Amino acid sequence: MSLAQRLKNRARRFLERPGTVVSLRRYEELLPRIEALEPELQELTDEELTQRAGEAEGLVEICAVGREAARRALGERPYDVQLLGALAMLDGHVAEMATGEGKTLTATIAAYGHVRLGHGPVHVITVNDYLARRDADWMRPVYTMLGLTVGSVTEINTREERVEAYACDVTYVSINEAGFDFLRDQLVTDIADRVQRPLGTAIVDEADSILIDEAKVPMVLAGAITTELDPVHAADAVVRGLVAHRDYEISEDGRTISLTNRGLKTVEAKLGGINLYDEKHLADLAAVNVALYAHYLLQRDVDYIVRNGTVELVDEMRGRVAQRRRWPDGLHAAVEAKEGLSPSAEGEVLGTITVQAYIGLYKTLCGMTATAVHVGDQLREYYKLEVAVIPPNTPCIRVDEPTRIYATRAERDEAMVALIKECHEKGRPVLVGTLDVKASEELAAQLAEAGVPCTVLNAKNDAEEAAIIAEAGTYGAVTVSTQMAGRGVDIRLGGSDQRDWERVAELGGLLVIGAGMHESRRVDDQLRGRAGRQGDPGGSVFFVSLEDELIVRHAGNEIPPSPNMTPDGLVEDERVDWAVAHAQRVAEGINYEIHRNTWRYSLVIEQQRKALAERRERVLTTNVTAEMLAEYFPEKCEQMDPELLTRVSRAIALYHIDRLWAEHLAMLSEVREGVHLRSLARVDPLDEFHRTAVPAFNALIPEIERRTVETFESISVDEDWQPEQAKLIRPSATWTYLVHDAPFGSEMDRLFSAATRGFRKRR
Amino acid sequence: MLQTIANAFSVPEIRRKLAFTAAILLLYRLGAYIPAPGVNIDAVESIEENFTGSNILGFLNLFSGGSLQRLSLFALGIMPYITASIILQLLTVVVPSLERLQKEGEVGQQKITQYTRYLTVGLSFAQALGYVFLFQSFQDQAGQSVVGDLTFGKVFLIVISLTAGTTLLMWMGELITQRGIGNGISLMIFASIASSIPGGISAWWNNQDQVFVVMMPFIALAVIVGIVFVQEGQRRIPVQYAKRVVGRRMTTGGSTYLPLRVNMAGVIPVIFAASIMAFPPTIGQLLGGADENFWTDFANFFNPNGWAYVVGEVFFIIIFTYFYTAVTFNPVDQADNLKKYGGFIPGVRPGRPTAEYLDRILSRLTFPGALYLGAVAALPTILISQTSANFYFGGTSILIVVGVALDTVKQLEAQLMMRNYEGFLK
C-alpha cells in the first residue's frame, strides 16, 4: 500500500467514514484459537458434536463448532473470512462480503451464535421467498448437526405452517412475509391466532436492498370493503384515445399526469357536459385522474403483467411479481378496467408499518451484503449499524469494462446483440440484465432474429428461476433476465455441475451485460457481481443509450447537442460520461429523499401504532373491557356468564379499536397528501402534520370507549352470540400494497426556481 | 405559550435540548465581551457614538449584539454566514455546475453547505481586514486609536481572531439547529437584539418625560400584541385532492388548505429597507466630515428620527413586500403544482382560473400586509418624535424578536406533542 493510500485510509478512519469504524483485528486475533479447537472437535462423533453445540459458550467455541458442523454437513470447511463475517455479525454489524464468498453459510454460523448467546429466536430476513426457502433447505443439515430447528416462511404457506416455521430456532423469511405476518398478528381477535413469537434477532441478507431500498416503501395491510359506486369503469372509456401533449401532459419526472384545457373539455363533453371541478363531481374527477394514471403512466409488462385474467404488480426493486400486492385508492381497479378485466374488491388500509420500524422491533440486528459501504451513512443514520468490510478469500479478477454509451436505443441494441452473438459463437456464457419485462422480451426477439438462442427469465416465468440460473454459466449459454437475477443467485461456470469449468474459464468466464443502468449504482454493482465469483474469471459491461429513461429524465438538459461519436453510434465524450453518471446520482438523491420523507412522517404513526398496540394487547389478554362495561351496565353484566361477558366485550372492543385505527390511518394519509401546502405559511409541514395527528389520536381512546359502550348497550347477548350479529364485520381478505410520496420543495426552492426561470427567460 | 414552556421542562429530552440551546447562546453572549487580541480596551469605551443611530455600522452592531463596537472575538457576528448562504443560493441559479449539484439531492446539498462554510471564512477574513483599518481611524479623546499602531503581525492576529470567531459561531449555530431547539442562526440574531433590551429598559426608567415613562409599557405591549396578531393572520383557501377512488367519506374536514399569510414576506422587506435607508446618513457622514456643509445637512435630513427617513423607509418596505411576495409566491406556479398533484380549489377550474383566483386573493392580502410592515417600522420613529424621547425603539428589532420567538415556541410545541404519549399509556 502506498504512503498516500495509507494516509487516505487513516483520514477516512478519523472521519469515521463507513466501512472504517469496525476494525477486523479483534476478530482476526480469535482465528488461531478457533483453529486450535479443531482437532479436538474432529474426533467427536456426530452425536457428540450436536451435544457440544448445545453447550458451546463464547465466540471461539461457537465459531469452531459451527465450522466443524458445516464441514461435516456440507462437506465444505468455512474459510477464515467467513468466520470473520460471522464474528462481525455476532457483534451487531453489517458484514460486506463479495459475491460468491459464501454469505449464506456465514449467516448460518451467525444465526447459531445468536441463538447460543440467548438472542433468539433468530429470523434470517431475505429479499424474496425463493431465497428464504432455498437457504433454509440448503442449510438444514448444518442446523440439524448444531441441534437447532430451522424453518422457512413463504407466500404459499398456510397459517399452521407459519406457526410451525416461526416456532423454530431459526426462521428464514422474506422481509415482506415477516412484516405482513407482524401486521396480521396485530389484528388477531384471539391470542392463539398469532403466528410470530416475540421478535429476537434479525440477520438481514442483502442488507442494503432491504434496509435502504425497500425502506422507502411502507408495508400496508389492506382489507376488502364493499363499494356501491364504480366510477372507475365509466372513466376508463372517457380517457381512452386521448393524445399526449394535446390532451394531457406528463411531468418531467414521469410521476404525475394532468389534463390540458383541451383534454379537460373533451373529457367533460364525454361525461355529459358537466363541470368536473364542481364539488359535487369530486368522485368523477378522482376517477378520471386515476384512469389517466392507469392508462398513460403505468405500462403493461413494465409496471405490471397480466396473467390468468388478473393484474399482477411487478416489484420494481426485484423485477418479480409481487403477490397479493395492489395499488391503492382505486388505481388497481382502473388498471383492471384498462385491460378489460373484471374488477376485484377495493381495499381499505387496516395497518401499516415501514420496513425500518419493523426492523427496529428486533432486539438484535445485523446483516450482510456485497454492497454496504455505499449506503454506510444511511445504515448508521437509520439503524445505528456499522459496516465491517471483510476481505475476499480469493481476490476478484473480474474485468469491468467502461460503460458503452450509444446515441440511440437502436444503435445500442444492435451493438449489444452483436457482442452477445460473438460471445455465443465462441461459447462464452452471457447473462444480460434488462430493466423490465418488456425489454427482456424485446431483446430475446432480437437475439432470435440474429440466430442466437436464449433463455428468458422474468416475472412471467419466475417458477423456473432456480433451474435457469443454475445453468446460466453453461458453455455457450445466453440468459436474458430482469433484475430477478440481480441478487443472491450464484452462477457456476460450466453449468451446475461445473463440467465445462476450464473451457468456459479459458474464454474469460461469464460475461455480464447490463442493458441500461439502474437507478442506483449499487444495483448495477450487484448485477456485475454475478460474474467472477470466488476468484473465477469473468467480465462485465454496461450498454447505455441516451434515449434511456433514466438519462432523459434526470440529465436530459446536460447532454451536449453534438457529442463526439464513432460512425456506429458509440459516444466517446467526457461530457456525456459525466451526464450519464450524473443522471444516476440524481436518481439516487431522489430515492434518498423519498426514504427520508417516508421515515420522518412515519415516526409519529409508528409511535401511535405502538401505543395503541399496547392498549389492544391489554384488551386481548385481560378483562379490562368487561370491567369497564360492568361499571356502565351492572345489571346486564351480572346476568351474563363471566366467560361470555369476556368474550363479547373483547370482540366489541377489538372491533372498534381496529375500525377506528383504520379510519385514523385514512385520515392521516389525507392530511399527508396536502400538508406540503403549509410550507407556504413558512411552517414546517412535518410539524403541522404532527399538530393534526396527535390531537386526532388523543381523541381515539375516548371514542373507542364510547362506541364500545354504545354497541354493548344495543345488543342482546345469548350463549352463541357472534360479532356478526352486531354488524361487527371484519374485512374478509387482506392484501398488501406499496405507497409512494410526492416530495415538494421548500420556500427557498420556490424562490430560487422562480428566479431561475426569470433568468432563463432573459437569457 | 407559557403552558408549552412549562410542559417543556417536564420532558427530560426537551429539557436537555433547551439547556443545550441556552448554554450555546450564553457562550455566544460571553464571547461578545471578550476583546480581540491587540485591541485597546480603554479606547473602545469612547467610540460608542459611531455605532448609534441608523447608519450601516449601527445596523451591523445591532445584529452582532454590540460585539462590533467592542471589537470582540465575535465582532463580525453571524452576518458573514448569512451573506455567504444568500450568495451561494443565488449562485446555484447562475452557475450550472452548482445547479447540477443541487439536483443530486442530499449529497450535493452537503457539498453546497461545505462551499457556504468556505465562503463564510473568506468573507469573514475580508470583512475583518476592513474593520481593522476602519477601527484604526476611530480614536478616543487622547488621540489613541482603538487598535493602536498597526504592524503586519498585529493586523494578522486580529483578522485571524475575528475570522475564527465567526467560524466558531457558524458551528455553534449549526449545533443548535441539530441538537437544540429552533434555528441556530435565527436564535443568535434574536439573542443579539434581545441583549439591547436591558439597556432600553434602563433608558426608559431614567427618562425625564413622565408621560413617556407611564405610557411606554402600554405602547410596547400594544405593539407586540398587534404584531403577534397580524403575524399569525392567514387566509386559508380550501384545497381538495381528487386522486383516490374509495368508498370512504372525507374525514379531514378542511384540514387541507393553502395558507396565505397576511404578512407573506416576513421580516425580509424591513431588513432590506433599513439597509437601504442606512446609506444616505452614512454617505453624508463620510463625505461631510466635521464641518457643516451640504453633506452634513444631507445626513441630518435623512436622520433616522426625521420624517424623510420614515417616508423613505415605508416606501421601500412596500416596494420590497410586493417584490418578495411576487417572487416567493407565483400564482401560476401554484396553480400548476396543484393540478399536477391532482388538487384543486372547490368550485374553481384548474389552470388559469385558479391562478387568477389566487392572484386576486394575494393582492388583497399583500397591500394590508405591506402597510402593516411599514407601520410597525415607522411607528417607533413617530412615537419618538412625538414624545421627544431619546430612545431607540426599533420596529425591525421587535419584528425579528417576536417572529423568532413565535417560530421557536411552535417548534417546541410540535416536539412536545410527539412525546406526549406517556400519559396515554397509563
| Chain B contact for A603 (CB, 8 A cutoff) | yes
Average pLDDT over residues A183-193: 88
pLDDT confidence of B279, banded at 50, 70, 90?
Answer: confident
Whole-angstrom CA distances from A201 to A92, A262, A421, A428 are: 10, 58, 48, 43
Q: At what angle do helices A129-145 and A46-55 cross, to 10 degrees?
A: 100
Q: From the candidates A277, A551, A661, which should be mutated to test the interface with B, based on the most B CB atoms within 10 A?
A: A277
Report for A117-126, A714-723, B56-65: range of highest mean pLDDT: A117-126
| Chain A contact for B342 (CB, 8 A cutoff) | yes
Closest to A70 measured CA to CA, from A113, A27, A30: A113
pLDDT at B135: 79
- Type of residue at B155: V
pLDDT at A740 over 70: no
| Chain B contact for A25 (CB, 8 A cutoff) | no
Residue-wise pLDDT tens digits, A683-702: 778 888 888 888 889 899 89
Average pLDDT over residues A200-226: 82
Q: CB-side exposure of A544: number of CA atoms within 13 Å?
A: 26
Output the CA torsion sign for A373, A376, A379, A385: positive
Lowest mean pLDDT among B186-190, B260-264, B265-269: B265-269
Say whether domain B1-195 belongs to CATH 1.10.3370.10: yes
Q: What residue ranges do the domains of chain B occupy?
A: 1-195, 196-393
Residue-wise pLDDT tens digits, B210-224: 777 787 788 778 888
Average pLDDT over residues B47-75: 74
Give the burial string for A305-339 (b: 16+ CB within 10 Å, else e).
bbeeeebbbbbbbbbbbbbebbbbbbbbbbbbbbe
Residue-wise pLDDT tens digits, B207-263: 777 777 787 788 778 888 888 888 888 888 988 877 666 544 444 445 688 888 888
Question: Which triple of cell numbers denotes residue B108?
Answer: 450535493
| Chain A contact for B243 (CB, 8 A cutoff) | yes
pLDDT confidence of A736, banded at 50, 70, 90?
Answer: low
Instruction: Label the pairing between strands A364-369 and A201-205.
Output: parallel
Share of chain A above pLDDT 70, in %: 90
Give the burial string for A736-749 (b: 16+ CB within 10 Å, else e).
bbbbebbeeeeeee
Nearest beta carbon to residue A229 from set B247, B259, B346: B247
Residues of B in contact with A740 (CB under 8 A): none
pLDDT confidence of A760, banded at 50, 70, 90?
Answer: very low
3-state secondary structure of A249: strand
DSSP states along A2-43 = -HHHHHHHHHHHHTT-TTSSS-THHHHHHHHHHHHHHHHHHT
Lowest mean pLDDT among A7-16, A94-103, A350-359, A556-565: A7-16
Distance CA A439, CA A457 (A): 12
Nearest beta carbon to residue B410 from set A687, A744, A750: A687
- Restricting to A residues 169-228, those with a Cβ less than 8 Å away from any Cβ of B are 225-228
| Chain B contact for A401 (CB, 8 A cutoff) | no
In the predicted model, what is the mean pLDDT of chain B? 79
Question: B73 or B202, which is more confident?
Answer: B73
Closest to A580 measured CA to CA, from A603, A558, A608: A558
| Chain A contact for B92 (CB, 8 A cutoff) | yes
pLDDT at A761 over 60: no
- Give the helix/strand (H/E) hosting A202: strand A201-205
* Residue where the block lists cell 403577534: B228
- Restricting to B residues 266-305, those with a Cβ less than 8 Å away from any Cβ of A are 266
User: Please, what is the end-to-end C-alpha distance for chain A in angstroms?
Assistant: 51
- Give the helix/strand (H/E) hosting A304: strand A304-307
3-state secondary structure of A459: helix
pLDDT at A750: 44
Distance CA A238, CA A294 (A): 13
Share of chain A above pLDDT 90, in %: 34
pLDDT at B394: 66
Scanning A622-698, the segments in alpha helix (DSSP H) are: 624-632, 634-639, 642-674, 685-698
Residue-wise pLDDT tens digits, A553-589: 888 777 887 788 888 778 888 889 988 998 998 888 8
DSSP states along B88-101 = HHHHHHH-HHHHHH
**Residue A288 in contact with residue A239, Cβ under 8 Å?**
yes
Residues of B in contact with A275 (CB under 8 A): 349
**Residue A111 in contact with residue A124, Cβ under 8 Å?**
yes
CATH no. for B196-393: 1.10.3370.10
B105/A226 touch (CB, cutoff 8 Å), yes or no: no
Lowest mean pLDDT among A475-479, A675-679, B391-395: B391-395
Instruction: Label the pairing between strands A455-457 and A538-545.
Output: unpaired
Question: B102 or B236, which is more confident?
Answer: B236
Distance CA A466, CA A479 (A): 13
Q: Please work out, in degrees rounded to the nearest 5, the angle formed at the alpha carbon of residue B18 by the alpha carbons of B15 and B20.
A: 110
DSSP states along A36-99 = HHHHHHHTS-HHHHHHHHHH--HHHHHHHHHHHHHHHHHS-PPPHHHHHHHHHHHTT-EEE--T
Kindly report the pTM of this predicted structure: 0.79
Radius of gyration of chain A (CA): 29
pLDDT at A168: 95
Number of Cβ atoms within 10 Å of the Cβ of A105: 23
Residues of B in contact with A588 (CB under 8 A): 104-105, 107
Closest to A214 measured CA to CA, from A311, A384, A358, A374: A358
| Chain A contact for B248 (CB, 8 A cutoff) | yes
- Phi, psi dihedral angles at B371 (to 5 degrees): -60, -40
Question: Which triple of cell numbers denotes residue B78?
Answer: 453571524
Residue-wise pLDDT tens digits, B133-161: 777 777 766 667 777 777 888 889 989 99
Distance CA B247, CA A610 (A): 28
Q: Tell me, yes or no, if the two domains B1-195 and B196-393 fold the same way.
A: yes
pLDDT at A21: 75
| Chain A contact for B247 (CB, 8 A cutoff) | yes
Query: Domains, chain A, ranges and CATH?
Result: 3-221+356-389 (3.40.50.300), 227-344 (3.90.1440.10), 399-588 (3.40.50.300), 620-732 (1.10.3060.10)
Residue-wise pLDDT tens digits, B377-404: 777 667 666 554 444 556 777 788 888 8
pLDDT at A733: 53
pLDDT at B20 over 90: yes
pLDDT at A753: 47
